[in-house]
Amino acid sequence: MIRATIIALLSHWRRHPVQLVTLLAGLALATGLWSAVQAINAEARASYQQAAAQLGGVALPELKAQSGAITLAQYVTLRRGGWQVAPVLEGRTRLGDSWVTVMGIDPLSHPGLPALSQGNEAAQITGFSGLLARPELAKALAQVPGLPTVTGSDLLPPGVVLGDISVVETLLDRRGQISRLLILPEQPMGRPPLADLVPGLVQSTPDRAADTARLTNSFFLNLTAFGLLSFAVGLFIVHGTVGLAFERRRPVLRTLRALGVPLRLLGALLLGELLLLALIAGAVGLVLGHEVLAL
Does 21 or 45 have the greater pLDDT score?
Answer: 21
**Range in 43-52, 191-200, 240-249 the model is least confident about:** 43-52
| pLDDT surpasses 80 at 185 | yes
Q: Write the DSSP symbol of residue 16.
A: -
Report the alpha-carbon distance of residue 89 to residue 106 in Å, rounded.
9
pLDDT of residue 116: 56
**Percent of the chain topping pLDDT 90:** 19
Closest CA relative to residue 62, chosen from 46, 78, 45, 40: 78
| pLDDT surpasses 90 at 87 | yes
| pLDDT surpasses 80 at 75 | yes
| pLDDT surpasses 60 at 151 | yes
Contact 178, 71 (CB under 8 A): yes
pLDDT of residue 49: 66
| pLDDT surpasses 80 at 107 | yes
Model confidence at 146, pLDDT cuts 50, 70, 90, reads confident
Cα(first)–Cα(last) distance of the chain, in Å? Answer: 49
What is the DSSP pairing of strand 177-178 with strand 70-71? antiparallel
